[in-house]
């Protein structure tokens, strides 16, 4: 009996590893299955893929930045600055992911309760909503591809190390602001927001059957903008 139970658990764990891909390809069927089996293993895979995509994006970006000194030039990727920069980006990306996930899922859960369905607990709902952030993995992956098309950008070493972000951002805007990749990434960000809202509405309707599609979409829109305000405020408190 115990062996059969262990095999069943293993099958469920393996099945959950496919959930992130299924959310992207067939979200309606995927969330019906996820609601019945809110396995955290697949969600942890989503987090891991997100961090991997963030690392790849930062790696490619660093390879495009050239630091010019008096005697030689070097890629940021090969400089002593890259290691600390990568750790900082990873820490901030992970913190932002957790903050966005928890606030969006939390607001989504409590707002949806006003529409009549007060069943279910917050913990499995958090896991279910977490799979919606598979869209974020796709966003970062496409962003990495766009960054790879950017031209190299040169910085004077003194400008890069001055600590004046406005000077660095000015060079970025001058060199990359008008490129196709930069413009496309702006539209990609908007597309991601709509995608997440759509997935959130599917989660609400699927996990809370009494909530109709129109109400589910309204709940998701409300939860998204409320979570953006909350995460922006908390991020400002944390990183300033």
In a domain, 22, yes or no: no
In a domain, 19, yes or no: no
At 232 the pLDDT is 86
pTM for the model stands at 0.87
In a domain, 220, yes or no: yes
At 117 the pLDDT is 61
The closest of 63, 65, 57 to 93, measured between CA atoms, is 57
In a domain, 69, yes or no: yes
In a domain, 17, yes or no: no
Question: pLDDT tens string for the chain (240 positions)?
Answer: 455 556 667 777 788 899 999 999 999 999 999 999 899 999 999 999 999 999 999 999 989 988 888 778 888 888 777 777 788 888 888 988 999 999 999 999 988 888 766 667 889 999 999 999 999 999 999 999 999 999 999 888 877 777 667 777 888 888 898 899 999 999 999 999 999 999 999 999 888 766 788 888 998 999 999 999 988 888 777 655
Residue 156 sits in which domain range?
39-239
At 163 the pLDDT is 62
Q: For the chain, how many structural domains are there in total? A: 1
In a domain, 90, yes or no: yes
In a domain, 129, yes or no: yes
In a domain, 32, yes or no: no
């Amino acid at each position: 009996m115990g062996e059969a139970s262990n095999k069943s658990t293993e099958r469920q764990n393996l099945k959950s590893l496919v959930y992130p891909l299924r959310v992207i390809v067939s979200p309606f069927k995927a969330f019906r299955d996820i609601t019945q089996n809110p396995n955290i293993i697949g969600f942890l895979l989503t987090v891991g893929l997100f961090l991997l995509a963030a690392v790849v994006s930062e790696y490619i970006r660093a390879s495009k930045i050239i630091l010019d000194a008096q005697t030689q030039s070097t890629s940021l990727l090969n400089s002593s600055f890259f290691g600390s920069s990568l750790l900082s980006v990873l820490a901030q990306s992970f913190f932002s992911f957790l903050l966005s996930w928890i606030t969006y899922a939390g607001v989504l859960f409590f707002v949806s309760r006003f529409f009549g369905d007060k069943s279910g607990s917050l913990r499995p709902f958090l896991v279910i909503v977490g799979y919606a952030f598979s869209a974020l993995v796709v966003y970062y992956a496409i962003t990495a591809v766009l960054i790879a098309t950017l031209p190299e950008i040169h910085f004077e070493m003194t400008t890069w190390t001055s600590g004046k972000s406005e000077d660095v951002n000015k060079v970025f805007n001058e060199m990359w602001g008008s490129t196709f990749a930069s413009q496309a990434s702006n539209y990609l960000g908007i597309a991601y927001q709509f995608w997440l809202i759509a997935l959130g509405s599917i989660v609400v309707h699927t996990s809370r059957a009494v909530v109709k599609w129109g109400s589910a979409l309204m709940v998701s829109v409300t939860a998204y903008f409320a979570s953006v305000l909350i995460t922006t405020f908390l991020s400002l408190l944390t990183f300033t």
